[in-house]
Amino acid sequence: MENDQEELYQTVIANKYCIGCGVCAASEDSPFDMAFNEKGQYQPVMKERQAAEAYVGNLCATCPFSDQCRNETEIAASLFGGSAGITFNDYTGYYLNTYGAYVKGDAFREKGSSGGMGNWIAAKLLEDDLVDAIIHVKEAKDGSGRLFSYQVSTTVPELLDGAKSKYYPIELSAVIKQVMANPGRYAIFGIPCFIKSVRLLAEKNRIFDERIIFTIGLVCGHLKSDQFAKSIGWQMGIEPDKLTEIDFRQKIPGRKSSDYGVEVSGEVAGQAVTKTALTRDLYTTHWGDGLFKYTACDYCDDVLAETADVTIGDAWLPEYEKDSNGTNIVVVRNQIIQDVIDRHREELFLEALSMDKVYQSQAGGFRHRRQGLAYRLYLKDKKGEWRPQKRVQASADATAKRKKIYVKRMALVEESYRAYEAAVKAGDFQYFITYMNPILKDYQKVNDRPFVIRALGKVKRIFLDPLRK
Ligand SMILES: Cc1cc2nc3c(=O)[nH]c(=O)nc-3n(C[C@H](O)[C@H](O)[C@H](O)COP(=O)(O)OP(=O)(O)OC[C@H]3O[C@@H](n4cnc5c(N)ncnc54)[C@H](O)[C@@H]3O)c2cc1C
Ligand code: SF4
Ligand code: SF4
């Protein structure tokens, strides 16, 4: 191809494999800026032509979906491969230890999505003077119209202010510029593909490499466009452009940890309102349906952030789920993080978890990104279309039923965006439901999930009494 930026555009971006991480837009002279597209996803857009043509760099080498970068196993092998006590597993990648865990006593678990281990580890890195700052995702509050963004916290209270999972588009370009301009020792949180981008950039940029001391990965099912957040608010009576805050993970005492709630704030008829509902009562929140997903996520094979020093997720296992306060799975790969955990062990509930249990806790995610990915790659190859090289090989070796599920899931994603556009045009969320009902019914029939016909009136009634037993 003509040049590097053209190659990145023609392969990853134009074919919808871009996850919007923002690394290709992180240098001042990059040909790209990050912007929301019509689906509410961050994507790179070409700056004006003159600047674009002047660029000399290697963008493909730092893009997690380009074929010009090393894969997760190769990156992790050079980071952790030779460490004492390290083991490799096809699902987890390299690991020293795996745990079921939560933070006892103080605010971390209460404020966290799950057991609070993510922010607790970050806090210990600050308190033990191993880093100066934590890069993570907090409420934007910058007038940009975005609800969340990557920001830098230097104290534990600031860190806790950014607790909980943000199922919302974020990107790294601005915060990378901040790191490059401000010397210091940083730890960074990220979903697996973002941590891969950070590792790739660190391979190419010595200053960035020296400043990013630790990476904290989050287990990832998939990333959502901002229409996911807006759809939740809209179902609960807040128009999309009036949604100002969302808490995706509210713990409900007495319920299973997986049976959590969501809280939205915004403006209705000029009045500030805050509303709460159980996610299972809402139309767009069933994670398996994958509504408002980035297409790139269907071509991802890293569930457990294999290139991160430590990975934190939800322990979706019956023995832990019964505790509404939440329990994490933790995969430790870096001995320094292991030492931090060992040093402060009395602050934690911590029990070793077998590899089988780690797998079980994310079984759906692994199936979608192993067998499901193999079939999606096979379909791409059959059509002769470009797609990124993955560690999973293309294969049609799944049952007819599973193949149907995978095909219908891809359609669900595309249809959710069309349905949302129709609802916006009509100014009525009921259009979304009417549009999606037959599509979801068809999918759920193949997937053996009972389908409940929904109407918005029903949804609205439900949120009024969210905590009913
Ligand atoms: C898009 C997404 C998909 C996920 N999918 C799964 C899944 O399928 N299975 C699973 O087990 N877990 C998944 N997780 C992780 C899970 O939701 C929790 O974040 C994790 O268990 C940590 O919980 P905690 O109690 O330790 O969180 P906390 O102690 O609250 O720490 C969370 C930290 O992560 C930061 N953070 C939040 N959102 C983001 C983000 N988008 N990018 C970078 N940093 C962020 C916060 O600022 C905070 O510092 C996902 C998370 C995200 C963001
Ligand atoms: S995935 Fe990241 S690096 Fe690759 S094109 Fe998209 S924004 Fe750029
Ligand atoms: S599923 Fe993969 S590509 Fe999608 S956000 Fe998660 S780590 Fe990134």
d(CA 121, CA 99): 14
**Residue 47 pLDDT:** 86
In sequence order, the 6+-apart residues with CB closer than 8 A to the CB of 62 are 23, 24, 69, 197, 200, 201, 203, 204
**How close is the Cα of 194 to the center of ligand 3, in Å?**
8
Report residue 200's pLDDT band, with 50, 70 and 90 as the boundaries.
very high
Tens of pLDDT, residue by residue over 256-307, are 999 999 999 999 999 999 999 999 999 999 999 999 999 999 999 999 999 9
**How close is the Cα of 405 to the center of ligand 2, in Å?**
28
**Whose CA is closest to 371, among 391, 390, 347, 397?**
397
What would the two tokens of residue 424 be?
């916006």
Ligand nearest to the CA of 17: 2
**Residue 467 pLDDT:** 43
Look at residue 147 and tell me whether its pLDDT is greater than 80: yes
Ligand nearest to the CA of 220: 1
**Residue 469 pLDDT:** 35
What would the two tokens of residue 49 be?
């032509």
Average pLDDT over residues 399-409: 96
Which residue shows structure tokens 């690991």? 95
Report residue 460's pLDDT band, with 50, 70 and 90 as the boundaries.
low
Which atom from ligand 1 is nearest to the alpha carbon of 153? Answer: 49
Q: From atom 3 of ligand 2, which residue's Cα is the shortest distance away?
A: 63
**Residue 51 pLDDT:** 57
Which atom from ligand 3 is nearest to the alpha carbon of 191? Answer: 7
**Which residues approach ligand 1 with their CB closer than 6 A?**
108, 112-119, 136-138, 162-167, 170, 189-191, 218-221, 223, 312-314, 326, 328, 362, 365
Question: What is the DSSP secondary structure assignment for residue 370, as one 8-state letter?
Answer: T
Look at residue 457 and tell me whether its pLDDT is greater than 70: no
**Whose CA is closest to 214, among 308, 116, 345, 344?**
308
**How close is the Cα of 196 to the center of ligand 2, in Å?**
11
Any ligand 2 atom below 6 A from CB of 19? yes
Q: From atom 8 of ligand 2, which residue's Cα is the shortest distance away?
A: 24
**How close is the Cα of 56 to the center of ligand 1, in Å?**
35
Q: Angle at Cα 462 formed by Cα 460 and Cα 465, nearest 5°?
A: 120
**What is the architecture, at CATH level 2, of domain 86-224+292-366?**
3-Layer(aba) Sandwich (3.40)
Tens of pLDDT, residue by residue over 325-371, are 999 999 999 999 999 999 999 999 999 999 999 999 999 999 999 99
Which amino acid would we find at residue 312?
I
| DSSP for 285-339, written as a single string | --GGG-TTB-GGGGG---SS-TTSSEEEEE--SHHHHTSTT--EEEEE--HHHHH
What element of type H or E holds 228?
Answer: helix 226-235
**Residue 447 pLDDT:** 85
The domain limits of the chain are: 86-224+292-366, 236-286, 367-462
**Residue 2 pLDDT:** 65
**Which mutation among 15, 19, 194 tests ligand 2's pocket best, with the greatest number of atoms within 8 A of CB?**
19
d(CA 270, CA 290): 33
d(CA 360, CA 126): 33
> In this prediction, what percent of the chain has a pLDDT beyond 90?
88
Ligand nearest to the CA of 72: 3
Look at residue 458 and tell me whether its pLDDT is greater than 60: no
**How close is the Cα of 53 to the center of ligand 3, in Å?**
30
**How close is the Cα of 327 to the center of ligand 1, in Å?**
12
Tens of pLDDT, residue by residue over 86-118, are 999 999 999 999 999 999 976 899 999 999 999
Any ligand 2 atom below 6 A from CB of 63? yes
Any ligand 2 atom below 6 A from CB of 193? no
Question: 257-275 burial by CB neighbour count: b if 16+ within 10 A, else e?
Answer: bbebbbbbbbeeeeeeeeb
Look at residue 468 and tell me whether its pLDDT is greater than 50: no
Ligand nearest to the CA of 297: 3
What would the two tokens of residue 454 be?
């929904």
Look at residue 465 and tell me whether its pLDDT is greater than 50: no
Terminal-residue alpha carbon distance, the chain: 60
Residues 214, 128 contacting (CB under 8 angstroms):
no
Which atom from ligand 3 is nearest to the alpha carbon of 296? Answer: 3
**Which mutation among 6, 10, 17, 18 tests ligand 2's pocket best, with the greatest number of atoms within 8 A of CB?**
18
**Whose CA is closest to 309, among 190, 132, 445?**
190
Tens of pLDDT, residue by residue over 151-183, are 999 999 999 999 999 999 999 999 999 999 999
Tens of pLDDT, residue by residue over 29-59, are 899 999 999 999 999 998 875 555 656 668 9
Name the least confident of 72-81, 120-129, 286-295, 449-458: 449-458
Average pLDDT of the chain to the nearest whole number: 93
What would the two tokens of residue 264 be?
């939205």
Any ligand 2 atom below 6 A from CB of 176? no
